[in-house]
Amino acid sequence: MASGANLIVGLTGGMGCGKSTAAELFSAHGFRRLDADQVVRDELLTDPEVIAAIRAQLGAGCVAADGAVNRRRVAEVVFHNEARLRWLEDLLHPRLRARWRALFAASAGQKFIVEVPLLFEKRMENWFDFVVCVTADSATQIRRLELRGLPPELARQRLARQLPLARKCELADFVLLNDGSLEFLRDQVNLLAPRLLHYQIA
């Protein structure tokens, strides 16, 4: 994505790798933090046009009595159905991209860190100036997901549906290791953030 004077950094990684923690650390360096999942949840899934399309395509059960999208039901409907998942992505991704473009255009000279869990899976790497991948070993991922209330077997199933972390690291411009302490992750961000800001100035 052409960013003009902005610096737009995509942040990705596997479930339980600590993307949100890393994004928060980047914000301490002046990066404006955006979360793709939050934009979808708070803006797109509350759009009447999107709600109507979901009801028509995925069934009335995907919309609650109060008119809100039942995100858990939507996830159940599309999880094992590639055609429906592709339809949902085709519905949401152009709208997400349009919102980001408008925001970036109105924010000249700013720097953004944008959390996108499935950045490589959905071929979004060209949306960003640089991509940073946060990684952790599988045991650490499972343990963190358990702490969030996700049963280990379900966590393994969801991890298996994502692009292997090793491949994400190969595709990324920079990699952060997060199977150690918070201080270890902070030290890495403290080293990387000034490098990224140098590219913005250059």
Q: What is the pLDDT of residues 27-43, one digit of tens each?
A: 999 999 999 889 999 99
Give the pLDDT mean for 103-130: 90
Residue 1 pLDDT = 43
Give the pLDDT mean for 128-153: 89
Percentage of residues in the chain having pLDDT higher than 70: 97
DSSP letter at 65 equals T
Give, for 194, the enclosing helix (H) or strand (E): helix 182-201
Structural domain of 78: 7-201
Asked whether residue 48 is assigned to any structural domain, the reply reads yes
* pLDDT tens digits, one per residue of 148-187: 888 888 888 878 878 899 999 999 999 999 998 999 999 9
Separation of alpha carbons 43 and 97, rounded Å: 12
Separation of alpha carbons 153 and 92, rounded Å: 29
CA distances from 71 to 61, 84, 160, 195, 198 (A): 10, 14, 21, 38, 40
Number of domains within the chain = 1
Asked whether residue 95 is assigned to any structural domain, the reply reads yes
Query: CATH number of the domain that 160 lies in?
Result: 3.40.50.300
Q: Is the pLDDT of residue 5 over 80?
A: no
Give the strands of the sheet with 130-135, arranged side by side. 32-35, 111-115, 7-13, 130-135, 174-177
| Prediction pTM value | 0.83
Asked whether residue 2 is assigned to any structural domain, the reply reads no
Asked whether residue 1 is assigned to any structural domain, the reply reads no
Range in 1-5, 117-121, 182-186 the model is least confident about: 1-5
Asked whether residue 68 is assigned to any structural domain, the reply reads yes
Q: How far apart are the first and last CA of the chain?
A: 18
Give the pLDDT mean for 78-86: 87
Q: Spell 167-177 as b/e; 16+ CB within 10 A means b.
A: ebbeebebbbe
